[in-house]
C-alpha cells in the first residue's frame, strides 16, 4: 500500500516549516491517469459527494415535476456560506414545497457570511437551519421525499431518499461502499477509495457523451454548478472563485476534513484529493495546483494565486511565509 504523499508545504523564511500529506487522483472513465499517495485509500468524501447525492433528484423525475431551475440544482450541490442569497433561496424553495424551516433536518448553523453574521448578532437574531451550509442539499432531499411520497425523516439511512443516494453513489463510483458515517448535516455519507471517487467525477465529466438518464442527470448538475458558482459556495470561497477563474467550464466542490473534487467536462477527467490531516488550506492549494498542472487555470490569475501560493502574514501585517504546492504536484 502506498503512503500519503506531500500535497502542500508551509514556508517561513527559508524553511519548510510544515508539510501536509495526502492523496490525489486524476482519472478518466478508463482508470487512473495520475496519482499521488495511495489511490486505494478509503475515506469519506463528505460534502464533495453532494452532486452525487443530488442525482436521484433528477433521475426520479422530481426536478422536472417541481419545475426546479438550474440555479436550484446548483444550490442542491452546495456547501454555501449562509449569505442572504443562500438563506433566501432555501426559504423560497421550502415555501414552494409548502414546507418551512422546521421541516429541515440539517440543524441550525451560524452564517459564515461575515456581514450577515454580525448583523444577526447586533439584532439578537439566532441562526436557524436556513443558514446551514447544507440547506440547499436538504431542500433537494425534501423535494425528492415529497415526490416519492416518503416519510419526513429523510436523513435516516433506510429512508427511500438515502437508499436512492446510496445506489447512485455506488453506480458512479463503480463499486460497493464499505460503509458510511453520519455527516455534519445528519445525512449518511458513504466511503469509497480515492480512485473510485475520481472515477465518479470522470463519470460527471464525460456525461454528455452518453444518453442514459443517470448520465444526463450528471451533465445537468455539472452545468448547474459551473453556471451558478455563487450558489455552490459563495463570495471569497475556493469553489466559487476557482470555477470563475478557470479558462474552461469546470465544477469544483469542497468537502470537510480536507477533501476536494473537480469535474473537467472538456477533458473527461475527474479529480479527487484528500489532505490526510484534514487541512482545508492544503486541499485548496492542491486543487489549485492540479488545475494549473492540467492547463485549466492560469497560475498568474489572482484568484488562483489566492489558494495556490497564498502569503502568510503576522499580526503586524508582515509577510512571514507562504503556502506552496509540494514539489511535483504543480509541474509535470
Average the pLDDT over 176-185 and give the result. 98
**Cα end-to-end distance, the chain, whole Å:** 24
Q: Quick one: fold of 5-325?
A: Beta-lactamase (3.40.710)
What are the structural domain ranges in the chain? 5-325
As a whole number of angstroms, the distance between CA 58 and CA 70 comes to 11
Give the confidence band of 186 by pLDDT, cuts at 50, 70, 90: very high
Cα separation, 195 vs 193, whole angstroms = 5
pTM: 0.96
What confidence tier does 331 reach under pLDDT thresholds 50, 70, 90? confident
For residue 192, give the H/E element and its range: strand 192-193
Residue 126 pLDDT greater than 90, yes or no: yes
Cell of 58: 433528477
Q: What is the pLDDT of residues 223-260, one digit of tens each?
A: 999 999 999 999 999 999 999 999 999 999 999 999 99
Amino acid at each position: 500500500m502506498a503512503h500519503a504523499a506531500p500535497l502542500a508545504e508551509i514556508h517561513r523564511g527559508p524553511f519548510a516549516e510544515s508539510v501536509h500529506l495526502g492523496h490525489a487522483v486524476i482519472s478518466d472513465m478508463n482508470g487512473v491517469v495520475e496519482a499521488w499517495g495511495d489511490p486505494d485509500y478509503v475515506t469519506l468524501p463528505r460534502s464533495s459527494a453532494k452532486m452525487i447525492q443530488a442525482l436521484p433528484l433528477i433521475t426520479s423525475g422530481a426536478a422536472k415535476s417541481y419545475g426546479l431551475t438550474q440555479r436550484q440544482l446548483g444550490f442542491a450541490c452546495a456547501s454555501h456560506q449562509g449569505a442572504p442569497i443562500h438563506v433566501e433561496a432555501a426559504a423560497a424553495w421550502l415555501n414552494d414545497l409548502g414546507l418551512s424551516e422546521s421541516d429541515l433536518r440539517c440543524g441550525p448553523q451560524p452564517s459564515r457570511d461575515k456581514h450577515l453574521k454580525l448583523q444577526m448578532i447586533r439584532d439578537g437574531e439566532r441562526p436557524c437551519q436556513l443558514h446551514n451550509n447544507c440547506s440547499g442539499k436538504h431542500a433537494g432531499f425534501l423535494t425528492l421525499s415529497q415526490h416519492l411520497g416518503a416519510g419526513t425523516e429523510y436523513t435516516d439511512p433506510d429512508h427511500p431518499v438515502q437508499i436512492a443516494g446510496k445506489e447512485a453513489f455506488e453506480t458512479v463510483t463503480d463499486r460497493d461502499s464499505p460503509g458510511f458515517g453520519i455527516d455534519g448535516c445528519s445525512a449518511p455519507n458513504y466511503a469509497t477509495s480515492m480512485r473510485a471517487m475520481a472515477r465518479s467525477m470522470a463519470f460527471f465529466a464525460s456525461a454528455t457523451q452518453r444518453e442514459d438518464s443517470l448520465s444526463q442527470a450528471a451533465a445537468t448538475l455539472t452545468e448547474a454548478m459551473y453556471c451558478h458558482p455563487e450558489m455552490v459556495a459563495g463570495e471569497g470561497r475556493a469553489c466559487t472563485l476557482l470555477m470563475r477563474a478557470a479558462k474552461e467550464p469546470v465544477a469544483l466542490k469542497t468537502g470537510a476534513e480536507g477533501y476536494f473534487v473537480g469535474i473537467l467536462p472538456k477533458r473527461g477527467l475527474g479529480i479527487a484529493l484528500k489532505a490526510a490531516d484534514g487541512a482545508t488550506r492544503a486541499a485548496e492549494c492542491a486543487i489549485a495546483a492540479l488545475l494549473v498542472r492540467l492547463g485549466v487555470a492560469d497560475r498568474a490569475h489572482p484568484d488562483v494565486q489566492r489558494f495556490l501560493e497564498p502569503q502568510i502574514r503576522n499580526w503586524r501585517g508582515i509577510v512571514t511565509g507562504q503556502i506552496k504546492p509540494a514539489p511535483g504536484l504543480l509541474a509535470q
